[in-house]
């Protein structure tokens, strides 16, 4: 009598669930594999997910170390084939532009000839990121100086209130007037800095707008 060699639905579902859980962990950056994950791993699919996420080839070394503990050897050919397929989706000019514009470090994972176009698109996106960062920094500098002026104005109000109080000696009045004068000079200097920064901001914003209009993908 022939034995039934088919896997039970329970075993099949368990393996499927394990495989899905493994892919979720890998996509979340959790590359450590346990015994069951190593045994049921679809190495081509894992390689594909690694490629789609732009992971370096060195990640297979981590899988090897994890699975060696359980006497399992990853299928390198399947993983490489899957990763190559995934990199075809990752190494596109549109993705490179998005990465550069978001401020991500340049990923050295794309093979030739895709890497050339990938680098150009990344640099275009990176230029927008840097220009936008410069505009943001200038805004922050302006707001900081405006806050400092507000603080100085409050300090000046207190000193003016002291100045009109009865019973002040002449020396105290002279000192308060001097301090008020110093505050006025500080506010004038900060106002001049704001004027200069606002001029810089106009130039920076115009440059950013030109980049966005010509390089948006």
- Residues 38-96: pLDDT tens digits? 999 999 999 999 999 999 999 999 999 999 999 999 999 999 999 999 999 999 999 99
Encoded tokens for 168: 């002040």
Which pLDDT score, from 0 to 100, does residue 33 have?
84
| Gap between the Cα atoms of 170 and 71, Å rounded | 91
**17 vs 70, residue with greater confidence:** 70
**189 vs 33, residue with greater confidence:** 189
Which pLDDT score, from 0 to 100, does residue 145 have?
98
Which pLDDT score, from 0 to 100, does residue 31 have?
56
pLDDT, tens digit, 9 for 90 and up, residues 124-155: 999 999 999 999 999 999 999 999 999 999 99
Cα–Cα nearest to 214, from 128, 136, 132, 133: 128
Encoded tokens for 153: 């104005």
Which pLDDT score, from 0 to 100, does residue 8 have?
46
**54 vs 2, residue with greater confidence:** 54
CATH numbers and ranges of domains, the chain = 9-90 (no CATH), 117-215 (1.10.287)
C-alpha distances (whole Å) from 206 to each of 30, 134, 200, 211 are: 43, 12, 10, 9
pLDDT, tens digit, 9 for 90 and up, residues 19-35: 444 444 544 455 578 88
Which pLDDT score, from 0 to 100, does residue 101 have?
97
User: How crowded is residue 212: how many other Cβ atoms within 10 Å of its Cβ?
Assistant: 13
How does 166-193 read in b/e, with b if 16+ C-beta sit within 10 Å? eeeeeeeeeebeeebeebeebbeebeeb
Q: 197 Cβ partners below 8 Å, 6+ apart?
A: 138, 141, 142, 145
């Amino acid at each position: 009598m022939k034995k039934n060699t088919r896997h039970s639905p329970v075993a099949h579902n368990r393996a499927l669930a394990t495989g899905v859980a493994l892919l979720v962990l890998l996509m979340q950056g959790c590359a450590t594999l346990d015994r069951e994950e190593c045994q049921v791993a679809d190495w081509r699919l894992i390689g594909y997910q690694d490629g789609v996420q732009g992971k370096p080839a060195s990640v297979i070394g981590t899988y090897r170390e994890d699975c060696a503990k359980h006497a399992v050897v990853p299928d390198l050919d399947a993983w490489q084939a899957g990763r190559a397929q995934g990199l075809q989706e990752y190494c596109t000019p549109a993705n490179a532009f998005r990465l550069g514009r978001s401020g991500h470090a340049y990923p050295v994972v794309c093979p030739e000839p895709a890497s050339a176009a990938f680098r150009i698109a990344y640099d275009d996106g990176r230029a927008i990121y840097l220009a936008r960062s410069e505009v943001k920094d200038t805004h922050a500098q302006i707001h900081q100086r405006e806050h400092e002026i507000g603080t100085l104005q409050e300090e000046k109000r207190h000193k003016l209130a002291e100045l009109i109080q009865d019973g002040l000696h002449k020396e105290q009045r002279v000192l308060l007037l001097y301090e008020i004068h110093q505050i006025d000079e500080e506010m004038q200097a900060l106002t001049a800095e704001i004027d200069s920064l606002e001029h810089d901001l106009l130039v920076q914003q115009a440059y950013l707008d030109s980049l966005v209009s010509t390089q948006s993908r």
